[in-house]
Amino acid sequence: MNLAIRDIHHKQSRFLLTALGIGLLLMIVMGMAGIYQGLSEDALSFLECAKADLWIVQKDTRGPFAENSKIPWSLEDRAYALTGVAYARAFVSHTIQREYRGKQMRIVVQGLAWPRDDGSALPLISGRALGQAHYEMIADKSLDLVLGERIPLGKNVYTVVGITTGMVGQSGDGIAFFTISDSLSIQFDIPAESVRLEREARRSRLERQDTGKTQPSLLAKAYGPVSQIPALGTQYVSAIMINVAQGEAPERVAAVIAGWSDVSVYSNEGERELLLMGIERNRKQIGMFSVLLAIISSIIMALILYTLTLDKVHDIAMLKLMGAQNSMIIGLILQQALILGALGYGLAYLFGLWIFPHFPRRVVITNANLIHLAFIVLFISFASSLLGIWKAMRIQPNEILS
C-alpha cells in the first residue's frame, strides 16, 4: 500500500490546485532568471556582433554604453595610423522617439562606418546590407518594420533594406542601423528656422569682429553650412572601434592609446564588464524577488503537506499500531512532497513555454537556469515536508480510537 499515492488519488482536486499554484510561483521564479538573462544578452548583443578589440572613448568617461561619450570623428584616422591597427571605425549610438503609424516608436539609432562596414556582419533574416551612403537603414524585427518601408526621420526619408534579429539596446528598444553620416544627421536635426537664426547670429558676430571686416569672403561662409567652416566643421562620434592586426597584442596598442591625453581606451572585455555593471542593480532586485517567491512556495507547500498529514492521522496511527517503522512514514510524506514539487516544476516549465514569448522584453531560459531551478525545487520539497514529518512523528498509535 502506498499511502502517498492513495492520498493523492482521494484528494485529487486539492492536490492539483496546490500543484497549479506552486507551478505558477515557480514559473515566476524561472521567469525572473530568464528576464535577467534576457537583459544581459540584449545589452551585449551589439558588443558581441561588433567584435572590436579596443574601444576609444572620451577622456575619463566609461562610454559609449555606460555613459555618454563624444570624440572627434577625425580620431578614426589617428587610430588607423597606429602600428598594429588593422581596422578602425567610428561608432555612433543614440535613442530617438517618434510618432509613427499613430503610435510612439523608440529607436536606437546606430551608425555604421560605411562603406567599410555595411552591416553584412549583422544577423540579417531578410533583405540586404546597406548599399549606398545615404537614405537606407537596417531595422531590428522588434520595430515591426517591413522591407521597402519608408520612414521619415529628420529632414530625410529612409528606406528599410534589411531586417535583423536580436539587436536591441539596454532598454529593450530595437536598433536601426544607418551610415554614420545619416545617424549624425538624425541626431543633430534641428528645425529650419533654428538653422536660419543661427546663421544670422553667426554672421552678425563675425561682422562685429576685425576678421569679418578684413575678409569679407568669410561672411558668405558664415552664412552657409557649418561643415564649410574648417574651424567649426569637426563632427563628433560616440567612440572609435579598433581591430588589431593578426598576431598583434591588443594590450600593446591599448598602452599606446592610453598615452593620449584626450581619450580613454577599453578592451572589449572591459566594455562588457561596464555594460553588465549597468544592469547589476536589476540583477540584485530580480534575485531578491526570486528568493521571496521561493520562500513563499516553501511555506505554501509546507502548509498543504501539514494539512494532508492531519487528514490521515488515523491512517498513520493504524500504521504505527501495526508496527510500521518511522522511516516508512517519513518516506511516505517525503514522497508526497517530491511529487508535488515535480508537478509544480513541470507545470512551471510548460506555462513558461506558453507565456514567456508574449512578454514585452525577451525572456531567455537556459539549461543552467532549469538545472538551478530543479535543485531549488528539490530543496523546497525537502524543507516543506519537515512540518508534516514533525506532525506525523507526534501521532500516537492510540489516536486511532479518537
Least confident of 38-42, 137-141, 145-149: 38-42
pLDDT given at position 150: 92
pLDDT given at position 2: 58
Neighbours of 57 (CB within 10 A): 26
- pLDDT(230) > 60: no
Share the mean pLDDT of the chain.
81
pLDDT given at position 50: 77
- What are the tens digits of pLDDT across the range 323-368? 777 777 787 778 888 888 888 899 999 999 999 888 877 888 888 8
Q: What is the 3-state secondary structure (H, E, C) of the chain?
A: CCHHHHHHHHCHHHHHHHHHHHHHHHHHHHHHHHHHHHHHHHHHHHHHHHCCCEEEEECCCCCCCCCCCCEECCHHHHHHCCCCEEEEEEEEEEEEEEEECCEEEEEEEEEECCCCCCCCCCCEEEECCCCCCCCEEEEEHHHCCCCCCEEEECCEEEEEEEEECCCECCCCCEEEEEEHHHHHHHHCCCCHHHHHHHHHHHHHHHHCCHHHHHCCHHHHHHCCCHHHCCCCCCCEECEEEEEECCCCCHHHHHHHHHCCCCEEEEEHHHHHHHHHHHCHHHHHHHHHHHHHHHHHHHHHHHHHHHHHHHHCHHHHHHHHHCCCCHHHHHHHHHHHHHHHHHHHHHHHHHHHHHHHHHCCCCCCCCHHHHHHHHHHHHHHHHHHHHHHHHHHHHCCHHHHHC
pLDDT given at position 68: 81
pLDDT given at position 279: 76
Least confident of 190-199, 294-303, 328-337: 190-199
pLDDT given at position 176: 93
Confidence bin at 399 (pLDDT 50/70/90)? low
- What are the tens digits of pLDDT across the range 60-74? 888 787 788 888 888
Least confident of 159-168, 204-213, 324-333: 204-213
Confidence bin at 1 (pLDDT 50/70/90)? very low
pLDDT given at position 224: 58
pLDDT given at position 39: 80
- What are the tens digits of pLDDT across the range 19-53? 888 888 888 888 888 888 888 887 777 787 778 88
Q: Report, as an integer, the average pLDDT of 167-190.
A: 85
